[in-house]
Amino acid sequence: MLTQLASWYKNRFADPNLSVLFLLLTGAFFTVYFFGSILAPLFVALILAYMLEWPVNYLMRFKLNRTASTFVVMTIFISLAVFAFIGILPTVFKQGASLTRDLPNMFNQAQQYLVTLPSQYPDMIDTMTITLVVENIRSYILDSGGFLLSHSFTSLLNIAALIVYAILVPLMMVFMLKDKHQLILSVKKFLPDNIKLVEQVWIEMNGQIMNYIRGKVIEILIVGVATYFVFFFMDLRYSALLAVLVGLSVLIPYIGAAAVTVPVAVVALFQWGLSPDFVYLMIAYGIVQALDGNLIVPLLFSEAVNLHPVIIIIAVLVFGGLWGFWGVFFAIPLATLVKAVLNAWPTKEQLAQADANLELKNEVSAK
């Protein structure tokens, strides 16, 4: 057994570039898995700085140096963040609180409707089934309310930490953007010389992920704004809250769009019932989703990420199981990383050719 393992290791990791790539990926995985919560501000700053690298490079085309470009981009970024916190989030939180207050009334209406079903369809539904459904819904609402209440107290206790993060993250972003090249050179000093495959993986992954992030930001804005106008025009309750949820749902491929449709349909159903207004809203919402899937996504991501839908769903399940929400959030970039590694990993034929070349080189040197 040990001989087979040693032979497998020799065949697969004889190339030092492979060993370095494997060790770096393993180290990165365990760092995120075990120290993710501690290093969260660093990771957030790194991701945001990576996202803002494109506008910094764009401004540098106009003869601005890197420091000036960083200052302009960070000023715009912080201004947009402040606008979101002051102009958008209060409305969203207010509507969320209003929805929470209205949930008991919605539950009572649903209960009254469900109780009438056994008399309307006696051959299909019995009273015991309705009672079990009502009790399950009540238990779910109570559990969700307790979770939200405890989470609210926890959030209040973490306000000081959030304030510190609000200062540290932008500060780290400024230095990461301004001193990018110096930081990269400093990191390379600690890396071994055999990083050819690491660079190959990074080049392939960097282009795809940058296009993916840029496209997702544009898609969130288009879908969120279009959905908000539809909801606002039709006077749907909690329009800002639901529009934000619909906009952010595009971050979770396939599953997000299906999941966010449920609260939209439920709110519309309780507001209008099975009326023409409900039908019109769902048709308009369906048109927005259809345009997103058949027009916006092909235009934005035609060359960004070449992954099969089954692979994307598997990535969502696997990385979501490992890292929860953030695993789902970064499922496609992580799947792109795995794809880049597999593309860079040498095949059996390439390994055999490398072994043959090494043996030939040894024979020549021996002579």
* DSSP result, 213-259: HHHHHHHHHHHHHHHHHHHHHTT-TTHHHHHHHHHHHTTSTTHHHHH
Whether the pLDDT of residue 167 is over 60: the answer is yes
Highest mean pLDDT among 251-265, 273-287, 336-350: 273-287
Chain length of the chain: 367
Q: Which of 14-18, 193-197, 314-318, 341-345 has the lowest mean pLDDT?
A: 14-18
- Which backbone phi and psi does 267 adopt, to 5 degrees? -60, -45
Q: Tens digits of per-residue pLDDT, 289-311?
A: 998 888 887 777 765 666 777 88
What local confidence, expressed as pLDDT, does residue 178 receive?
92
CA distance 8 to 71: 52
Split at pLDDT 50, 70, 90, the class of 156 is: very low
The answer to whether the CB of 235 falls within 8 A of the CB of 219 is: no
Mean pLDDT of 191-219: 80
Position with higher pLDDT, 321 vs 304: 321
Percent of the chain exceeding pLDDT 70 equals 78
Mean pLDDT of 78-82: 90
Which of 30, 39, 92 lies closest to 228 in space, CA to CA? 92
Highest mean pLDDT among 8-17, 20-29, 107-116: 20-29
What local confidence, expressed as pLDDT, does residue 153 receive?
47
Mean pLDDT of 155-160: 56
Whether the pLDDT of residue 8 is over 70: the answer is no
Six token digits for residue 147: 């979770």
Highest mean pLDDT among 60-64, 140-144, 299-303: 60-64
Whether the pLDDT of residue 14 is over 90: the answer is no
